[in-house]
Each structure stands twice: as C-alpha cells, then as structure tokens.
Structure 1
C-alpha cells in the first residue's frame, strides 16, 4: 500500500495541532478590574464584578478577571486605565470627558438604576422631609456629592445647593453632624450604606426620589477594542438569554421593592453630561420602575 508522503505529513500536522496541550490553546487572558482585594467584602462591588464575570464568560473568549492590588481614588483609577498601567476594566458613571479619554461599553450595567436617587437623611428629620411641598423647598436645603463624581455637576446644573467632598466617609459624617441636610444615594447603594453606617441613625427619606438618566458603563483603555467588543457581546447575550436579569434581580430586587418607587414623588432632572451616543432609544436596556426591572 502506497502512502502519499505529503498527505501523511498533513495528517500528522493536524493530529499534533488537535493534541497540543490545552494550556497552550486556552490560557486565559488576565483582566484586572478596579476593585481591590482589600474591598472584596464591600457589597457595592459584588454586582458589577459578577456581571463582568458573566459577560466575559458569555463572550466565548478565554478571560480570567482578577481584582486590582491597591485602592485608589476614582481620579487615579481612571488615569491608570487611560495610561494602560495595570488596570483593564473600570465601572463608573459616564461623562463626556470619560468617554473621550477611555472606551465605554455602551450598555448601562445597572439599567440606569444609579440615576434613581433616594435621599439619605437623619432619622429625626423624617417629618421635616414629609412636609416639603415641592421641588423648590427641597432645593433650598443643603446636599453634597463626591468632588469627582458626575452627580455633583448634575445636581448643581439643576439648581441644588450642592457642596463637594473628596472623602466618602466624610460625607456621611457631615450629614450626621448636620452640616448638610441630605445625601442623595442610588437605590443600588443605599441599603448597604444604611447597614455600614447604622450607628449614625440615618434613613431613606419618605416621599421623594430624584431621577436623572445616568449611565454606569464598563470602561476599558481607548485602544483595547477587542476587550470592549467581547464585553459588549457577552452583555447582549446575557440580556437576550435572561441571565443578566436574573443577576440584576438577585442583587437589587429587594432594594427595588423596598424603595417603592412607583409610590414616590419623582423629581426629574436634566443630565447635561449625557453624550449623543447614549443608547436612550434602546428601551430594553433601561430600568422601568413599573416593571421592577
């Protein structure tokens, strides 16, 4: 029996390729996300981390997401991502500047729920806030936001008496010390913060909720088009197959129910920081308080 040496060589090459060590073919690409190991117990990071894992898994590509080593300010975190210095993915509220410096994955990871803001107040001020009659009376009170948070500019542009602070802990201290009257916090953030600061005798104000369209995106380095595309593909698959909804409700279902948004007075604000590329017309990407998702 004659064997064509060329065909035999081709068969051997195919067999060697198929039988090569899996580690050489499937070594996961490490992706560092901006939530340090020291903050692993902080529940504010649990959902975006789980969603990032889900999106990368659904993308069909081989990735290994890992936490960053060091806790940094938001400014320094975004700067490191921009310079491609040890951080591959950040989740944060969008702004024109951030979208120019970085590459956003244009799917709001929390369905815009970060733009639904309950008012964190002192428990003894409950009746005071119940008796507020309109937006003007609320705007006359003093509030606060983080110095480098887009929310600071949004509230200021809508006429709120907004001061700023570079200290996350310090803003709660200022509320407790009566230096401000309330601290707007998103539906997704407030439950964990009430637990973390339970000694401060704080509560969510009855009656009111602020709303402005806001987007919390995954951001990657401007040049990392493949990672951005893989995350977007994974997110869209997770939306289509219902796994993102399941994860969203697992983390926020109880907080949404407790917030009772359909029965609150909604103050709708303008967000001057939205860019024209914000996917406002893709209604399936956005939270609907009547549906609870």
Structure 2
C-alpha cells in the first residue's frame, strides 16, 4: 500500500513538473526601460493561448540584466534565457530559431529621429538620403540597423551602451538617433532632462520584422509560441493588444502625420524566408517601393524614391 502511495505521489510530482515550462527572457538593465512591455504582454498572451494544449508555464526575467549581444549569446548557448525578441537578420536566423510572425506587424522598420531641441532647421533641409548622409546617426554597435543604415550610404557612429546613447546625442557625438515609432515617444519622456526633441518631417522605412527567437534545439517552445501567436491572430486578441497598447497607439499616431517625407531604405539583411507575402501578418501593406536605394545605385538617385505621405492606417510596405 505504501509503495502504491509512493508511486502515485511520484507520478503526480513528475506530471506537475512536466506540465510547467520555465521560460526566461532577458532582464532589462534599466528599470525605466519600457521597450519590453509590449513584447512581454504578447509573450504572455501566446503562452496563455496554449496553456490547455501545452501545459502550464512559469515566465520570469533572467537573473541579471543583459544587453542585446549578451542575451543572444546566452540563447545560442542555451544558458540563462529561453526566448528573446529582436529584429531578424540572416545571421540571427542561422544561429537561432525564429518564430516568423512579426510582433509589431512591420512597424519596427518605420523609424523617426531623435534630435537635439532647436535643431529642426537642419533636418528641414533634408530632401533625400544623400542629404541625410551629410549628418551623423547614432546606433548600437551590435544592432542590425547599423548595417542597414551604412548599406544605404548613411554615416553612423556606434555605441556599446543603449542607455548612454541619449547622453551622447545631447553632447553632440552624433546628430540624430533613429528610433522605432513605437520607441521614440517613451524614450523622449524618459530622458526629458536632456532637452531632446522628435524630428518632425522625416520617416525612414526599411522592411523589417521583430520576432521571438528560441534556441535552435528548442522545438517544443518554438511550436508552442507559433501556435499561441496564430491562435491570438485568429481570435483577434493579437490585434486588440496591438492597437490598445500605449506604445503602439503612439506609433500609429506618428505614422498618421501627413507631412512626413518618406525615405525608403534597402535592407540587405532581410532573410528570404520573411513572410512578406502573407498580408495578414502586417499592419496594412501598401504598394511595393518604386525604387530601392542600395550601395550600387544610390549615387544615381537625386531625389527620395517615394515622397508621398504615409496614408492613415497604413505603413510603407517593403
């Protein structure tokens, strides 16, 4: 009898352990950094949608704060984190397993500029990428965006620390800091003491996607996250979170400003497997770009490839 009770208890404990999946994500270095809020909400949504089919889960931050390169390295080594969210690239898709559902519906490739207050006139004179190339952008040293901007002929100064980038901009180390439309408003508020401003006339765009990534061998988590995201897309909860989250609402507001000049950039890092043809995954794709500027043809282009404003409820499609 005691043996039977022991076996039942052991099986119960084993089943409980198997049912609860521990999922760790990178801890932000700064407590004021709110960039992860939307992605954590979406991750929680995807896991909740699959609780019945895949079991319970424990979602928690990693033990220590991580910059992006350390988080990706930890995931590659399968140590410390089970999932990250980051912009895709060919290299990252070779090293890790992407869940190819764009978390921001493609908005991450829509970039506005943080500048020093009082310097808007310098950017009013920008009519093309060639004009913008006379100014210096600031970017993270390990960001794919750095490679993308340089591939389009733009001058980029790199920095190894995200938090210090705003101080560097304020001190004149570079002229502008391209930020995602979902990032810039909150970052301005968080760094109000630096007297920075949101540039009012330009919108950079390159086709891009922010994905969840897992270790290449973590087949179970990859399938679970894809299943959860697709269920959320199907029942409308993905779109509801997207449109109701404060960061996304501010992003859509920026895109709906009709007087912004659209400068399209080529993205040489975009994997061929990017599901651009699946229009259900993107916000509201418009026409293909009429002309892409790349290192081979940018010198021959004197004007921006497309200068029409971004239509309400749309973003430029690559």
Report the CA distance between 1:191 and its aligned residue.
1.2
- 1:290 corresponds to: 312
1:184 aligns with 2:175: no
TM normalised by structure 2 equals: 0.81
- 1:138 corresponds to: 132
Q: 1:268 aligns with which of 242, 246, 264?
A: 264
Q: 2:45 aligns with which of 54, 57, 69?
A: 54
Q: Would the alpha carbon gap of residues 258 and 201 (structure 1) be closer, same or farther in structure 2, given more than 3 Å must change?
A: farther
Structure 2 gap ranges (5+): 1-6, 285-310
Asked if the contact 1:143–1:163 (Cα under 8 Å) also holds between the matched residues in 2, the reply is yes
Q: Would the alpha carbon gap of residues 160 and 265 (structure 1) be closer, same or farther in structure 2, given more than 3 Å must change?
A: same
Q: Deviations over 1:197-241 (max 9, x none)?
A: 101111111110000011111010100011001100100111111
Map of 1:105-124 to 2, 5 A cutoff? 105-124=99-118
Report the CA distance between 1:284 and its aligned residue.
1.4
d(CA) in 2 for partners of 1:175 and 1:153? Answer: 20
1:254 aligns with 2:272: no
Report the CA distance between 1:261 and its aligned residue.
3.9
d(CA) in 1 for partners of 2:100 and 2:126? Answer: 37
d(CA) in 2 for partners of 1:172 and 1:40? Answer: 16
TM normalised by structure 1 equals: 0.87
Asked if the contact 1:115–1:186 (Cα under 8 Å) also holds between the matched residues in 2, the reply is yes
d(CA) in 1 for partners of 2:157 and 2:30? Answer: 27
Task: Show structure 1 runs of 4+ deviating over 4 A.
Answer: 20-23, 38-41
Q: Would the alpha carbon gap of residues 115 and 92 (structure 1) be closer, same or farther in structure 2, given more than 3 Å must change?
A: same
Q: 1:30 aligns with which of 22, 33, 42?
A: 22
SS of equivalent to 1:69: strand
- 1:3 corresponds to: none
Q: Would the alpha carbon gap of residues 112 and 130 (structure 1) be closer, same or farther in structure 2, given more than 3 Å must change?
A: same
Map of 1:14-163 to 2, 5 A cutoff? 24-25=15-16, 27-36=19-28, 39=30, 42-60=33-51, 61=54, 62-163=56-157
Comparing 275-284 with 130-139, which one deviates more in the overlay?
Answer: 130-139
Report the CA distance between 1:126 and its aligned residue.
1.5
Map of 1:155-174 to 2, 5 A cutoff? 155-174=149-168
SS of equivalent to 1:70: strand
SS of equivalent to 1:118: strand
RMSD between superposed Cα atoms in Å:
2.2
Report the CA distance between 1:280 and its aligned residue.
0.8
d(CA) in 2 for partners of 1:59 and 1:39? Answer: 31
1:228 aligns with 2:222: yes
SS of equivalent to 1:162: strand
- 2:273 corresponds to: 277
d(CA) in 2 for partners of 1:250 and 1:276? Answer: 31
d(CA) in 2 for partners of 1:236 and 1:261? Answer: 27
Report the number of matched residues.
Answer: 276
